[in-house]
Structure 1
């Protein structure tokens, strides 16, 4: 019988903290993925060329698919998709990419368009064909609604002619080559009928067989990119005739005579519906980044505990982690990693809870901002963790280098981070009322740096300060110059969005702490929560002091407060890293994660093994 948090056995501190990171039902939600990455097919083999690693990723994709009770059920469950990314991301970024595209963007979109029963999905559920998604073009990324690929309705043949009119309209997307097997794609194209543009729609298009692109389809591999060896390609179409049913229907398509109707607002609404799977994709990117950051931080904590350096004069060697210069950055990273995991879960839960209206828009904004903030913070944590492990962490067999470069893909995937921040900044700037900031009625300096509630209010004040600056700059620009007004306001407004993300993460911390019982787990989380908030307040202490929200004595106390919290967190770093619940099989594949890391460099022919006498 599996022991769960609802059984009579009291949960350990580690289990309680794992529940904070992954949810109280983490064994049910995440157990499958933990077991999967522990099995032999997912263990890390030595070396391999990029092509061999890509082939291995597709082999693993099929093994994964055979392990599922239903690929359709996975595609329909955003939480399961996020868990897939959180656990597979640190183990095989290439696999994570192709799995996310197949199950979320491809199968998920087909399911969302109510294709079950009307289309035979067996080829995709059994992986006789792998699904991909073609939206971005060379010249159209974040402005995908301006894409130029066309699908022109031909009434005589009752089908669509899919065509790429110029070099800028080539699809600029991953895994469309024959690598890994036959592929089909959902292709975003501008529907043209009777000379009218009916906006961007999705079309189901066979792209390749097992060996080559199909007639009318041209696929060219892009130059090698940093990170995982996914087959990124340029894909174009030369007047490819598609059957009428290639068009994914949304309930208001043309009648049997081919008369397509598009009312006011329909084009944008239908485009957003077509790319609706981007939102679960952003949640998955957050989960993937958080999972990768947890893995690298866990390795760094373990390595710091068994990498010995010279002690003080006349003293035995000590672990490098005993030094503040080493454990300090990792303690800060630990506070950030917990914040990332909590914010991703907060965004996911808000999105699931809100189905329409203003609440849905607000939840979507949180998903967007969380994706950007989490992937940026993941890069910080992964790079810091790599550096704390020295030169050995630069070797591919130690698992970190692929994650250092892989997080760059997450920063760009499912919407560039800066574009997501900019959209949120514009929305929040328009929604805010001048003079209505949340710090307007607060008493100056009324609080204690030991009080998480006071720290949380300061985080809200940082947000208010930056948006007030953005509004003031916008008002000074000419009304008629919309671009000029935005450029004037965007710098501080983007800082305001960043502050909003920190505030959301701090609120998620507070909610998680309040849900824990009194005891060690709650104490550990409280230390992390305060360290996270104090370091952000310290970065903005000048603005808070100028606004009268911090006193000079409080500003002076911030560095000492942070040092005390760093010491408290560092003292429990191994226990906190254990709460990440990574299987030991994963650590066994990364030599520096174990105390015998030097054995990975043993030389059977070395004199220490051949028994030659020391000439001395």
Structure 2
């Protein structure tokens, strides 16, 4: 395995362009990215208290926001916003998380639903949340989200936090009825950080629930003080994704009419009007801020997969071993380590293809009245993008874990790198839309053929063909998806005919539903990967073929159970992986170099070099 980035077979030709994508950032953008997230963000000084560490995270966010283009420009430019968030993710996962909240889940709703959309806001000339927007755009305050409620699952569908219209003032009174309805988790726990929240609440007008809307609420003032009507309960310190988690309760908090991000709805002459037409449609529209989140999470998943693969290669290349079967053999002579390194690179390149696809893909407009969802609202917003978020976070989490294990003691001890990436990828299996719930709603739509067309049937007996060919991958993936969908639909229908209600019919088939939707995600990713492989240089084609072979091995149970693959397919796949891996090994260093990782990512941890930790702020 070549260790010199300039060595090898010329694989670098075209790889760097592929990684940068069709919407590559220009030199000016790359310059402001480096200024926004400079080298001192790649780690924390030792000896900081939890509050000091969090204060530094927010200082980094303020510096990044002031170096980057204006928020409105970033939100209108997915490649630029994703580029900023990708760099934050590999430098400091906590910075990525608070940056994502600030831009997409606080400023995003204000710009999409709030002032400036449809004229003056409400009675008495009350303005929209211009003051909050100005504070967020200037980075004088930081944005957060109050959506999930701690005491009930699926709380997004029907928040118990209410915003009751007050005819006397024209404004609203926001109330959390009890501790079970507290908004958690939210990043509002640091006592000295000014915060503005986008609050999701059920609007009540004239005693009638009108649907879920977003309200802008100051949670902490310039010195971190909490206003009357807001109670913040900081959560214990965590060792996962280290941000200032807290539960927030709103206790008869009065806000003006302009705090309502009304998205064209209005209260006029005592009457309520909403262009959404129904509470269900309003929920889908209010959740329409999710696509920028999913694009960013997919892009960050690709970024941390790239960083993890580069870290593992840096650990492995040139490393000697003392195993008695072959003393002083290079570590990458052992196939388990070689396959781990190449598999991580393959995963990184596959996720990079997916990230490039979503950054260039316009968000789907929510379909009127559907698709129907039962567990969460996300699939009604953009089912395909939500499903790709599932696929990307799962793949990134598996890749980071593989790299961590195969890096030995440094992988466990270097907390500012692989452990931090592990915390990030694990968190986003649930954050940004719970993966399991997205799978269930996807499977439900698939079974009902709700805006879904199954892949065409493949004729003939179980087979495989050339396992290194994209045509074979897509044939196998499409056929297993179709058969799983048919079996799921048959089972649910049989349960209904036997007298089961919808809950019982689906509750008995949730495992099959998850596998069915996962098959749809697999096929969607493989279509993107196959397109990239067909148009890319030889090293890229081999790398993505290795990804597909890893997929086949991981899904062999379903392929064999559904009669899609022939017996012996695992042995065939293993042999193909050896062939591809042997051909790809000389290109490993060039594959890693084309990822253009900052040197701080692949450098040995400071603890192993005697260097001090980075600072910054």
Alignment TM-score, normalising by the size of structure 2:
0.86
The CA distance in 2 between the partners of 1:16 and 1:34, in whole Å, is 23
For 1:476-495, what per-residue CA distance to the aligned partner results, in whole angstroms no more than 9, with x for missing partners?
31334212221343322321
Quote the residue 1:16 is aligned against.
14
Aligned pair count reads: 579
Quote the residue 2:338 is aligned against.
327
The partner residue of 2:301 within 269, 289, 310 is 289
Quote the residue 1:525 is aligned against.
540
Q: How does 1:111-190 map to 2 (within 5 A)?
A: 111-116=111-116, 119-120=130-131, 121-179=133-191, 181-190=193-202
Quote the residue 1:191 is aligned against.
203
Distance 1:398 1:308, change over 3 A: farther
Q: How does 1:497-512 map to 2 (within 5 A)?
A: 497-512=517-532
Matched, 1:572 2:590: no
Of the structure 1 ranges 437-446 and 342-351, higher mean CA displacement relative to structure 2 is found in: 437-446
For 1:220-265, what per-residue CA distance to the aligned partner results, in whole angstroms no more than 9, with x for missing partners?
101223423211111111211111211112212111x332235885
Note the C-alpha offset of 1:498.
1.5
Quote the residue 1:448 is aligned against.
466
For 1:414-433, what per-residue CA distance to the aligned partner results, in whole angstroms no more than 9, with x for missing partners?
11110111111111111189
Quote the residue 1:217 is aligned against.
230
Q: How does 1:408-557 map to 2 (within 5 A)?
A: 408-431=426-449, 438-442=456-460, 445=463, 447-479=465-497, 480=499, 481-516=501-536, 522-541=537-556, 544=559, 549-552=564-567, 556-557=571-572
Distance 1:32 1:470, change over 3 A: farther
The partner residue of 2:404 within 383, 386, 394 is 386
Q: How does 1:359-398 map to 2 (within 5 A)?
A: 364-396=382-414
The CA distance in 2 between the partners of 1:181 and 1:433, in whole Å, is 45
Contact 2:86 2:303 in 1 (8 A): yes
Note the C-alpha offset of 1:582.
1.1
Quote the residue 1:234 is aligned against.
247
Note the C-alpha offset of 1:309.
1.8
The CA distance in 1 between the partners of 2:215 and 2:380, in whole Å, is 30
Of the structure 1 ranges 535-544 and 267-276, higher mean CA displacement relative to structure 2 is found in: 535-544
Distance 1:446 1:218, change over 3 A: closer
Distance 1:290 1:141, change over 3 A: farther
Matched, 1:600 2:610: yes
Quote the residue 2:4 is aligned against.
none
Relative CO higher for 1 or 2, CA cutoff 8 Å, sep ≥ 6?
2
Contact 1:55 1:179 in 2 (8 A): no
Quote the residue 1:74 is aligned against.
74
Contact 1:178 1:208 in 2 (8 A): no
The CA distance in 1 between the partners of 2:381 and 2:224, in whole Å, is 43
2:45 aligns to what SS in structure 1? coil
The CA distance in 1 between the partners of 2:108 and 2:226, in whole Å, is 24
The CA distance in 2 between the partners of 1:584 and 1:325, in whole Å, is 26
Note the C-alpha offset of 1:556.
4.6
Note the C-alpha offset of 1:468.
2.5
Quote the residue 1:6 is aligned against.
none
The CA distance in 2 between the partners of 1:536 and 1:314, in whole Å, is 31
Kindly name which structure, 1 or 2, has the bigger radius of gyration based on alpha carbons. 1
Distance 1:423 1:351, change over 3 A: farther
The CA distance in 2 between the partners of 1:160 and 1:492, in whole Å, is 45
Contact 1:74 1:80 in 2 (8 A): yes
For 1:270-315, what per-residue CA distance to the aligned partner results, in whole angstroms no more than 9, with x for missing partners?
2222221122112211111221121111111111014322377896
Note the C-alpha offset of 1:453.
1.1
1:137 aligns to what SS in structure 2? coil
Q: How does 1:38-49 map to 2 (within 5 A)?
A: 39-47=38-46, 48-49=48-49
Distance 1:116 1:14, change over 3 A: farther
1:214 aligns to what SS in structure 2? coil
The CA distance in 2 between the partners of 1:124 and 1:533, in whole Å, is 43
